[in-house]
Structure 1
Amino acid sequence: MTVHDRWQVFRGESTEEKDLIFTVKRSSMIQLKTKLHVFLATNPKEDVCDFRVEGSWLERSCIIYSGESNTILAQMHKKHSVESVLLGKDKFMVTVYPNVDYAFVVALIAILDGINQGE
């Protein structure tokens, strides 16, 4: 148990350790901008994150990086349109770079949304 919030993603409906895919946790308890560390199940020590998510949910934008590098794997930002301004319907643009798992990116964005809905 850590003082950081933690989310675990499993295969299917399972919650068994053998079906763990990855774990997400906040990089620190107090954050002005969102910063999440993602650890694959094959990285149980969690010394160095496998991926990280940085962004501002207030601005509805984030970037997903490979580990502690500056290599961008995906980006999300709010798409401004007449419809979004007049009707209050937010639309988002997500760019996923080649050789990156789309489902993984969607899962991270869903976790980010869940974190920010809870606040």
Structure 2
Amino acid sequence: MGFTEESSYLPQQVSKPICVVSPQFVCPHPFDMLSGKKLLALSDGNFGVTDVNGNLIFKVKGKLLSVHGKRLLVDAVGNRILTFHKKLTSARKRWQCFRGDGTDSRDHLFTAKLSNRTQFKTSLDVFLASNRNQDVADFKVKGNWFEKRCTVFAGESTTVIAEMSKKLNVQNIAFGVDTYTITVYPNVDYAFIVAIMAILNEICEEKSDDDEK
């Protein structure tokens, strides 16, 4: 998976576990998920994330309730895992993510900042809360939203820690369902990766809405 121009980058075993949200979301083996807006009824959230067997893992909620871009990442039974929202005063699009349902600085986990966006390609720089200077990104996300592909890298390296690509099958095409495969590589926090993908989805949906105006 990944985009064509990044095909020389191969997934590598990270030297130590990447745990941003919680150790419970770190697996010692590759972890595959499916995500899509139409996996859920509109009233049940913005989009859902399931395992490959269709069991619900996460939901992203809040789009219908908030004018300030506040979103909640909840698990299958509704426990609030993360809160993320757009920082309205930022010149570049910037999202902040917090543990649970608060927005207190002590619960701040990471910030995702739009670093580049063209007609089709979108890039994010992700800074952990401990990276106060934000001179160098802790993670980078490079995506081609037109092709529905993106790759998450560890820092400035070529180490791939997760990928997303559009899942094509006869059922999806026939019913117009947008479903994506997310592969998270070993020892990487998959809740963190889902949060990044949700933020990227929000940014690209905003762009689509702007283009239609």
TM-score range, shorter chain: over 0.9
Could you list the structure 1 runs, at least 4 aligned residues long, displaced by more than 4 angstroms after superposition: none
Which residue number in structure 2 is paired with residue 91 of structure 1? 179
Match of 2:110 in 1: 22
**What is the number of residues matched between the two proteins?**
118
Match for residue 145 of structure 2 among 57, 70, 86: 57
Opposite residue 13 of structure 1, the aligned amino acid is: D
- The partner residue of 2:164 within 76, 81, 86 is 76
Aligned to 2:205: 117
Unaligned runs of 5+ in 1: none
Q: CA deviation at 1:2?
A: 4.4
How many percent identity over aligned positions? 47
What's the CA shift string for 1:60-101, capped at 9, x where partnerless?
110000001110000000011111211111221111100000
CA RMSD of aligned residues (A): 1.2
Instruction: Tell which has more relative contact order, 1 or 2 (C-alpha 8 A, sep 6+).
Output: 2
The structure having more radius of gyration, on CA atoms, is: 2
For residues 16 and 48 of structure 1, what CA distance do their matches in structure 2 show? 24
Once the two structures are superposed, residues 14-39 of structure 1 have per-residue CA deviations (whole angstroms, 9 ceiling, x without a partner) of 111111000000114x4341100000
Question: 2:148 is matched by which residue type in structure 1?
Answer: R
The answer to whether structure 1 residue 31 and structure 2 residue 114 are counterparts is no
Is structure 2 residue 119 aligned with structure 1 residue 45? no
Tell me the distance in 2 between the aligned counterparts of 1:19 and 1:9: 8
TM-score norm. by structure 2 comes to 0.53
Structure 2: state its 5+ residue gaps.
Answer: 1-88, 208-213
